[in-house]
Amino acid sequence: QRGMAVTAGPRSSELYARACRLMPAGVNSPVRAFASVGGEPIFYDRASGCRFTDADGREFIDYVGSWGPLILGHAHPAVIEAVTISAADGTSFGAPCAREIELAELVVDTVPFLEMVRFVSSGTEAVMSAVRLARGVTGRDAIVKFTGCYHGHADYLLVAAGSGLATFGTPSSAGVPESSAGHTLLLPLDDEAAFRRLMTKHGDEIAAVIIEGIPANNGLLPQSESFVDVLRTECTRHGAMLIFDEVITGFRLGPDGAAGHYGIEPDLVTYGKIIGGGMPVGAYGGKRAHMERLAPLGPVYQAGTLSGNPVAMAAGAAALRTLLADGGSTWDRLETLGARLETGLREVFTKHDHQWSVVRRGSILWLALQDGPAPVTAEDIDTGAAERYAGLHAALLERGVYLAPSAYEVIFVSAAHDEAVIDQTVAAFDEAVAEVFG
């Protein structure tokens, strides 16, 4: 494997040095710093469709899509128009406005089991609020989380497994008190027996079981239908709420997200990313009886100065309307493009004699650069894969293909990608794999 390439151009490098004096590692969210692939981060200058131009004027095909929101590609005309028009009407009201209703109607009318939503400004906030609501509704404190699922950065969700199978979590970040992690029970994914045992023992103390619709923040780890069914059945049996965190999968896998994919009804669902069309929006929702426990109707407090922000609502509504237009054919298109990329990458790996996996659900892909079956739990992921990924990442950047700067992050295909771009990407992989692992 060859050494690390220089990834950033001179102008990017200069911006990075300036940024590092002012912001930790020069970034406002850690994975952007390229720490796990090496090299310096590339500064975006502008973006359109499936491409962006960096600060040095170089063009890249983008497979990050702002980490999921940009299912229509960068600067989609419908979104830009909605943002421009609504911004001219005022950027924030802190009071009700029709644009909130428009997005709420789109969401509630699209997702069959949703009766009400509340908007917040990020996925983290959506999850925090949904967990608080579940605790308020059930009068219980404990929650169950699965190793390898990411639910934003609330204290009690930044937990790692202790020793043993079903354990109360220990903080995975400095600054998280043992006491907040101590209400979170951690389990491995894909282990029905462990989950059943835990529910038998603690089920009546558990407010909520939370899982990513399809775990996509630590590799892509699709779970079996039977595992998801067991979650549903056991939660119902013990009066715990099942929270589907659909911050990535909501409106990505189709109109009704992972819940639709599995054919189950969670009690609460959280959204982010796509629902804001590239603006900061999160949402959580469920049945009316549960949602009406929120303040000011009920005792569960949750608020936000910029919640339901009119510009963000307009962007989200424009994105959802575009997705839903023409019978939702955009999702079919994304399936076609995703499948083409999957097939192309599989062929490249096979051609170069690597037994690696390409995991895909719709327009979400993940490269498991390890032999053997594709991982389904966080524990299955081979740590050597990250090193292989770093080499591949740099070689692809040299060829104008921008993947997420972390082996554990997925590839997002957008509706602005097309066959020619996918084929160009596959050709770049062919060269990169030969060069790095040759």
Ligand X SMILES: *Cc1c(COP(=O)(O)O)cnc(C)c1O
Q: Which positions touch ligand X (CB under 6 A)?
A: 122-124, 127, 150-152, 212, 217, 245, 247-248, 272, 282
* Nearest residue to the partner ligand X, using Cβ: 123
| Burial per residue of 350-384, b for 16 or more beta-carbon CB atoms within 10 angstroms, e otherwise | eeeeeebbbbbbbbbbbbbbbeeebbbbbebbeee
Closest to 363 in 3D by CA, of 63, 75, 74, 76: 63
Per the rule left: phi > 0, alpha: psi between -120 and 50, beta: everything else, 240 is beta
In angstroms, what is the minimal distance from the CB of 14 to ligand X? 28
Cβ proximity to ligand X: between 70 and 127 the closer is 127
Q: Which one of the listed residues 190, 191, 245, 267 is annotated catalytic?
A: 245
Our CA angle for 71, 72, 76, nearest 5°, is 140
Angstrom distance (rounded) from CA 164 to CA 334: 41
In angstroms, what is the minimal distance from the CB of 248 to ligand X? 4
Q: Is 62 a catalytic residue?
A: no
Q: Which helix (H) or strand (E) holds 357?
A: strand 357-361
Closest to 414 in 3D by CA, of 405, 402, 406, 431: 402
216 neighbors 175 (Cβ within 8 angstroms): no
317 neighbors 98 (Cβ within 8 angstroms): no
Structure tokens at 107: 């969401």
Q: Is 284 a catalytic residue?
A: no
To the nearest 10°, the Cα dihedral for 282, 286, 289, 294?
-20
Sign of the CA dihedral 151, 71, 47, 322? negative
In angstroms, what is the minimal distance from the CB of 303 to ligand X? 17
Q: Which one of the listed residues 63, 150, 389, 402 is annotated catalytic?
A: 150
Cβ proximity to ligand X: between 143 and 428 the closer is 143
Sign of the CA dihedral 71, 76, 78, 81? positive
Cβ proximity to ligand X: between 120 and 317 the closer is 120
Q: Is 156 a catalytic residue?
A: no
Strand duo 170-171 + 357-361: pairing: unpaired
In angstroms, what is the minimal distance from the CB of 426 to ligand X? 26
Amino acid identity of residue 332, one-letter, is D
Cβ proximity to ligand X: between 140 and 252 the closer is 252
Specify the residue for token string 């009406």: 292
Cβ proximity to ligand X: between 55 and 258 the closer is 258
Strand duo 401-402 + 59-62: pairing: parallel
Cβ proximity to ligand X: between 124 and 184 the closer is 124
In angstroms, what is the minimal distance from the CB of 274 to ligand X? 11
Cβ proximity to ligand X: between 123 and 338 the closer is 123
Q: Which one of the listed residues 273, 380, 389, 408 is annotated catalytic?
A: 273
Residues taking part in catalysis: 150, 245, 273
